[in-house]
Amino acid sequence: MSDSRNAPEAPRPAEHTPGGRADEPGAGSPHTPGVSVRHTRAKGEPRFPDGPKADPAGSHFERRIRSFQPRRSRVTAGQADALQRLWPKWGLDIDGQRVIDLGELFGNANPVVLEIGFGMGEATAQMAAADPDTNILAVDVHTPGQGNLLNLADQHGLPNVRVGNGDAIILLREMLRPDSLDGLRVYFPDPWPKKRHHKRRLIQPEFLTLAAARIRPGGLVHCATDWEPYAEQMLEVLTAHPDFENTRPDGGFAPRPQFRPLTRFEGQGLDKGHVVNDLLFRRVQHHNQPPTGA
């Protein structure tokens, strides 16, 4: 399902469906819902004219080590339609060029949780439906997943979902205000199992320091992984970070909370004997730190 699988370098525009609905002028013949389609575009023609940009941050920021793997897969007609119709309303291109007002983005002052990496969005939609008073800013670069989550939000009437396209690091560093988030969710990020790739893992001290600056004191960081060595590293790094404390009195892993749905990805892993570990850490306020909003 996930993140990094997270951030940016969006898949190259290639064999995917065009922007525009099948019943609009010039859109071509109608497509069967749920069926992947090919479309030959002229050079320079945007993949989805009203949808997410291929590389929203462009060359404005340095090319750091990334924690994601670009994934190229086909966009169905239904997903393409959702991207065209709903992106202007519920989408956010992470360009790093402005600081966003989350109250304005969602149209209310409800708490906002950032989810980095949401796969196809089924679990995100379930959590949004179960807790309509919490806004979810869900970030991924997987275009089919973006379209699918927009579709789910539309079909199930979920106004508390916004879909971010691009690098979550740029979002945190350049576009969010201090203490603007009430939580962070990172479910099943790429484990980068080879030792030489461990530097690409998302949960690192530097990332946690950046996240801590955007999460209000008391906010919850919730990670989950089925890769046990990565789970151990997450536990070690989070435990050592001065801005977070484990919600477990024993300092260990947490049972899966009821608000996190069991995903298909997770179920397949459990069927294979994988162990899934959840980590729940709270953002702490230091004695010399002014209260939020001060």
- CA gap 144, 220 in Å, rounded: 28
Is the CA virtual torsion 2, 185, 205, 232 positive or negative?
negative
- 255 Cβ neighbours under 8 A, 6+ residues apart: 278
Q: Is 236 annotated as a binding residue?
A: no
- Asked if 247 and 281 touch (Cβ cutoff 8 Å), the reply is yes
Q: Is 140 annotated as a binding residue?
A: yes
Q: From residue 161, give the alpha-carbon distance in Å to each of 51, 146, 164, 183.
A: 16, 11, 10, 15
Q: Is 167 annotated as a binding residue?
A: yes
Q: Is 50 annotated as a binding residue?
A: no
Q: Is 264 annotated as a binding residue?
A: yes
Q: 280 phi and psi, to 5 degrees?
A: -125, 110
Name the catalytic one among 190, 243, 250, 271. Answer: 190
- Asked if 51 and 19 touch (Cβ cutoff 8 Å), the reply is yes
Q: Is 190 in the active site? A: yes
Binding residues for S-adenosyl-L-methionine: 115, 140, 167, 190
Residues designated as active site? 190
Binding residues for substrate: 194, 226, 263-266
